Chain A
Amino acid sequence: QKEVEQNSGPLSVPEGAIASLNCTYSDRGSQSFFWYRQYSGKSPELIMFIYSNGDKEDGRFTAQLNKASQYVSLLIRDSQPSDSATYLCAVNGGAGSARQLTFGSGTQLTVLP
């Protein structure tokens, strides 16, 4: 059973702070890792993806991947109230099911003005 675990939260941070979201996965064969943001009543929106160990930065977002520890994280710098949403970690299925994303349960983030 391939699993993706996230802290369910809720996580609250003040405006301007750094929000740190974490995710662990069980399938060592997984190759690509995605972060989606989902506002209430909306569909998931892709914000970052990473497939190499290390950091990947895009604007205020930084994804970090450590395959040895089976750990992926998302940092949001200078958090804004508009970042308040549920953040979903998704992992590709690895060998034999590379086209299948397995999602964590999501972390609900609230950025307080």
Chain B
Amino acid sequence: KAGVTQTPRYLIKTRGQQVTLSCSPISGHRSVSWYQQTPGQGLQFLFEYFSETQRNKGNFPGRFSGRQFSNSRSEMNVSTLELGDSALYLCASSLAGLSYNEQFFGPGTRLTVL
């Protein structure tokens, strides 16, 4: 069974621009969560989608948004990029997002903001 895929793998943007990242979950998985990983803050939860609905949101500004499509693929958007947005963005796929469902991570998108 194919794993979680994320595109693109690497991105370089400048301050003020916006970016869209894509995630395709494991086949049959309906929950997609997004995380940001930085050396200073570690892994932090952004938001979670299930059946095209955002069910949970972390403590990030409104510049960070996302959506999920009917095929469970998800996109994350960051507008008005700041230098501090440079990070590894990870999506995690889960069967139904229940507390006992494992979350499997994709390879991540490395975003560099100049």
Please give the residue numbers on chain A whose beta carbons come within 8 Å of chain B beta carbons, in ascending order. 31-32, 34, 36, 42-46, 49, 51, 88, 90, 92-93, 97-106
Please give the residue numbers on chain B whose beta carbons come within 8 Å of chain A beta carbons, in ascending order. 31, 33, 35, 42-45, 48, 50, 55-56, 58, 88, 90, 92, 94, 97-100, 102-108
Total inter-chain residue pairs, C-beta < 8 Å? 62
A64 to B14, CA, bound (A): 45
10 contacts between A and B (CB under 8 A): A32-B99, A44-B105, A88-B43, A90-B43, A92-B99, A98-B99, A99-B31, A101-B103, A103-B43, A105-B42
Contacts of A42 in B (CB 8 A): 107
Say yes or no: A44-B43 contact (C-beta < 8 A), given A31-B99, A51-B100, A99-B48: yes
A-B residue pairs, 4 tightest by C-beta? A98-B99, A103-B43, A99-B97, A31-B99
Contacts of A46 in B (CB 8 A): 102-105
Chief secondary structure at chain A's binding surface: loop
A93 to B48, CA, bound (A): 12
Contacts of A45 in B (CB 8 A): 105
Q: How near does chain B come to A60, taking the closest CB pair, in angstroms?
A: 19
Contacts of B56 in A (CB 8 A): 93, 97, 99-100
